[in-house]
Amino acid sequence: MRGEGWGEGQVSVVTPTLNAAAMLPANLAALRGAGIVREVIVADGGSSDETAAHARTAGARVVVAPRGRGSQLAAGAAAATGDWLLFLHADCRPEPGWEHAVGAFLTAPEAQSRAGYFDFVLDDQAFAARRLERIVAWRCRALALPYGDQGLLIARTLYDAVGGFRPLPLMEDVDLVRRLGRRRLARIGARCLASARRYRRDGYFRRPL
């Protein structure tokens, strides 16, 4: 059964969470009113805070999964009912107008044979943040390696054909993207705002790029 308050769109949004109560409400609010979102599935790995309560209040459906992003994303995808799946991390949200770019992506020729990703933007005005954004853009162009904090939009049929997310605790995004391959990856043409909290804490260039 779908959560309350969403539309009749084609896209099921799947978000893995673990103690994400502080950031989840704003990110779910960014999805509301888009018109193309059918439902939001929050795949929780055993949060001890108010993550599940906030998700339900926002009209999302909560599924409980073994902890680990790969397992959680796979469980969320299994519960989703849309023809398209949009995987979004809990600390990332598409910027206003994203639904128009996604709508164009869905109706493009051969759309169901491609997976799309957002451009990576950080919520930090520091020079290091701009530099990292440029590095990520280069990585996507040169290596065809968008990461999970850029979202992944994929037709259910293509997701199933490549085997979906595997139960990996980390790098589950890279694993799936590599199975898709360069020819089946494309920019959506909209930006996704990611939290810089982890980068400020750990150092901008100490985290994997």
Nearest to 142 by CA among 192, 179, 185, 195: 185
- The tally of CA atoms less than 13 A away on the side-chain side of residue 22 is 4
Residue 34 confidence class, pLDDT cut points 50, 70, 90: confident
Q: Are residues 38 and 3 in contact, defined by beta-carbon separation less than 8 angstroms?
A: no
Whole-number Cα distances in Å, 38 to 9, 10, 12, 28, 148 = 4, 6, 5, 13, 21
Nearest to 117 by CA among 62, 184, 167, 50: 184
pLDDT of 10:
92
3 state SS of 131: helix
Question: pTM for the full model?
Answer: 0.94
Euclidean distance between CA atoms 76 and 70, whole angstroms = 10
Q: What would the pLDDT profile of 87-111 be if each residue is shown by its tens digit?
A: 999 999 999 999 999 999 999 999 9
> DSSP character for 165?
-
What's the token pair of residue 201?
A: 């804490």
Euclidean distance between CA atoms 10 and 112, whole angstroms = 12
What's the token pair of residue 117?
A: 């990703």
Q: Residue 71: is it exposed, middle or buried by C-beta count within 10 angstroms (0-12/13-18/19+)?
A: buried
pLDDT of 33:
81
Is residue 85's pLDDT more than 80? yes
* CATH (one of 3.90.550.10, 3.40.309.10, 3.40.50.300, 2.30.40.10) for 11-119+145-188: 3.90.550.10
Is residue 208's pLDDT more than 60? no
User: Domain segments of the chain: what residues?
Assistant: 11-119+145-188
Euclidean distance between CA atoms 176 and 112, whole angstroms = 16
Average pLDDT over residues 10-35: 93
